[in-house]
Chains A and B, each alone.
Chain A
Amino acid sequence: MADHSHGSPENAVTVAKPGQGSVQKFQDPGLPPHRPRLADTDPRAEKRAERQVGVLFLISILGTLLFFFGYFFIPLDQTIGTLRLQNLLLGLGTAFAMLGIGVGIVHWAKTLMPDHEIAEDRHEIRPEADRADAEKIVGDILEESGIKRRPLIRNTLLGAGVLAIFPAIAIFRDLGPLPGDVLRQTMWDEGVRLTRDPSGTPIKASDVTIGSAFHVIPEGLNESEHKLEEKAKAVVLLMRLNPESLNPSPGREDWGYDGIVAYSKICTHVGCPVALYEQQTHHLLCPCHQSTFDLTQECKVIFGPAARPLPQLPISVDEEGYLVATSDFQEPVGPSYWERG
């Protein structure tokens, strides 16, 4: 507490004058003397400022006219050139229309309107009289409404208030239902052919040469009812590398076919499409946050914020030589979610 006394107002404004024994208070210096502006003293400057403000408002008018000129008199003819010109005129017109008004008003206020400095004294923060007034208002309301004397009204109001909340709960419930196992399953299943994105044509294993990368969707996706929802989960990147470069873990040796492997394209971080494939380093890069997956180690994360490897789609070939999935993904694709466990 002793420290506080150093900073108290009395100490701050008193000082011992050298050579004198007495202590003298500083006087409030007050406001600096009012300095008249050029426009206050020189009638010509005043006229000039007036003209300047007028010109600024005129610029605003011209801007609006420019906007309408661009809007009505630039015929759009399927070329980028006219579109760009119209955009330019609309943008410039709006900018000048707004800026002209804004800058004009500020300039007007700064040069011509009165600029006396005014100090406003601070009010007492919490006067007792105001407090008493507020208390009296609350008391009057309680008294005049008669809520204490009329229990019928009080209880029905309480009931109505409690019930009125329930429609909100019902509406928020419609944000659900919880995803359940929707995110666990994709369109892939045993025997579903791998097809090219976007054409939907099936891919022969012999078409996939070493170093190739195919962007793949499941067969029948283009005809499915919720195409985009299904595509968002099922997109796959198909690559072929030297079978010796792959190091499949036990139990996953037959998930690929002769060096052809298929991995989910949905990043396990926040779900961006991981499709930047480097065919020499066998890195897969996610463009959003630079998560890097190593294809030769079953898409293990070697850099970046992703927490899990990309899920692999087990594939094989059918009798006609087309690539097919042998099952769905063995784990949910994409980023983590609560129910994933």
Chain B
Amino acid sequence: MKALSQRRRHPLAAIALLLMGLLLTGGIYAVASNANEAKAQTSVSASDIEEGEKLFVANCATCHGMGAAGTEDGPSLIGVGAASVDFQVGTGRMPLQMQGPQALQKPVQFTEEQIQQMAAYVASLGAGPAIPSEELLDTSGEEVDPAAGGELFRVNCAMCHNAAAAGGALTRGKFAPTLEGVTEKHIYEAMVTGPQNMPVFSDANITPEDKQDIIAFLKIIEEQGSPGGADLGSLGPVSEGLFIWVAGLGVIIAFTVWLTSRSS
């Protein structure tokens, strides 16, 4: 301990500490998310609905009301379907941390089993979009066409989520999040349920096959990266402009100083 405390003012101590912290939280997260996946289940029983109701009353009813009928602080969940619960809770947006322009993503608060139970309970209240099956999310099939998905994405999604799916700003503090790293299931669920201010893209608007194409497109652009090298966040003129103002003008100024200085 003494040796350790003597080195606490070492210049690299802060970096070492930061690394240790990152490794620790990353490790815990990896273990926790593995555990969640391991418990995934598909069948729904009466006991699931019962457990889900208990969880709902304990965690959600404050805002959404008893029986999910809605209050001033939260909308009614009757008829939003299991997909909505799986998306909102599965991405950590619910339970809400605080009222604000929009619910933010944060670490998932429940296990996969608990999420399924709550989804089963909300689905039992009224018909709504179900959690998509594995076949709907499989983009490896022959008939899946990522190019068609790209066209659909540019028509329906790109104006908010950005042509490179990097996300973008909306009105009054709201924003469309980046789609990088979002799972196939959550992308699909967002389209069918229209979470928060996102419009609904029901199967009558974009068919399940078209949704598959869109997901395939998103996964491909995520994998292949930017053809032009560093994409600077794909945010367009803001980040690119900042870069060229700082780096480009910096180089020009440096050359000007060198050009006009006298040789020793």
Residues of A within 8 A of B (CB): 37-39, 79-80, 83-84, 87-88, 106, 110-111, 115, 196-198, 203-204, 206-215, 239, 273, 275-281, 283, 285, 287, 290, 292, 303
Contacts and interface: CB of A to CB of B under 8 A. Distances in A.
Contacts of B264: 37-38
The 9 closest A-B pairs by CB, nearest first: A207-B204, A213-B199, A278-B197, A275-B159, A211-B200, A110-B263, A212-B200, A80-B224, A279-B199
A276 B167 CA distance: 12
Contacts of A38: 263-264
B202 A209 contact: yes
A303 B262 CA distance: 55
Nearest to B158: A275
B107 interface: no
Contact of B171 (A87, A239, A275, A278): A278
Contact of B204 (A209, A275, A277): A209
Instruction: Give the one of B172, B196, B199, B204 with max A CB within 10 A.
Output: B199
Secondary structure of the B contact surface, majority rule: loop
Main secondary structure of the interface of A (DSSP, over half): mixed
A8 to B, nearest CB: 33
Contact of B259 (A39, A106, A283): A106
B13 interface: no
A212 B263 contact: no
A87 B228 contact: yes
Interface residues of B, number: 32
B194 interface: yes
Given A212-B205, A277-B199, 13 more contacts: A37-B262, A37-B263, A79-B224, A80-B225, A80-B227, A110-B263, A198-B152, A198-B155, A213-B199, A214-B205, A276-B159, A285-B170, A292-B171
B11 to A, nearest CB: 34
B148 to A, nearest CB: 9
B199 A211 contact: yes
A3 B153 CA distance: 72
B110 interface: no
B155 to A, nearest CB: 5
Contacts of B174: 278, 281
Identify which of B159, B174, B204, B224 gathers the most chain A CB atoms within 10 Å of its CB: B159
A44 to B, nearest CB: 14
A281 B263 contact: no
Interface in B143-196: 151-152, 155-156, 159-160, 168, 170-172, 174, 176, 194, 196
Contacts of B170: 276, 278, 283, 285
B201 A279 contact: no
A239 B199 contact: yes
Contacts of A207: 202, 204-205
A101 to B, nearest CB: 14
